[in-house]
Amino acid sequence: MKTIPLIAAVAAASAFLSATPAEAALPAVQITRVYYDSPGSDRRSNASLNGEYVVIHNTTRRAIDLEGWQVRDKTGYSYEFGPDVILGANKKITLRTGSGSDGASTLHWGRRQYVWNNDKDTAYVRKPDGRLVDSCAYNSSRYDYKNCQ
């Protein structure tokens, strides 16, 4: 019977998929928040620029090397992670728009202008080869931030 191997393969595949139904659909590295309207008046002070940020979460159980990965907005402004940026297992990193000291959980884009529009925009995370890892779109000026996923 030639159909038996095929049936066995389908059964094995569905058993694999049902093992992690929720996780399978979500990217390993996720944008979990875009804080796009920083607190107070937008006067472009460094503190105000740093009140704008995105949070990126490594949802996996292994560390991920982010070197060369990029964060972009809808317009195409882009931030590239430098060398030695390792996002640990189940760790989050915050990318702030302004300048400051980078650390294990906070990085700075170094911009003098806002990047995340106060009404609508989309944050993207891409691998060095351009492959899309995750995106987070928002379209409301009623709120100051969007939680994604």
Q: Give the binding site for Ca ion (CB under 5 A).
A: 37-38, 42, 73, 75, 117, 121
Q: Nearest residue to Ca ion, using CB?
A: 73
CB 93 within 8 A of CB 105: yes
Min CB(76)–Ca ion separation in Å? 9
14's tokens: 């569905």
Task: Look at the chain and count its residues.
Answer: 149
Closest CB to Ca ion among 70 and 117?
Answer: 117
Min CB(97)–Ca ion separation in Å? 10
Q: Kindly report the CA angle at 9 between 11 and 14, in degrees rounded to 5?
A: 35
Min CB(93)–Ca ion separation in Å? 20
Closest CB to Ca ion among 48 and 60?
Answer: 48
45's tokens: 């002070």
131's tokens: 């492959």
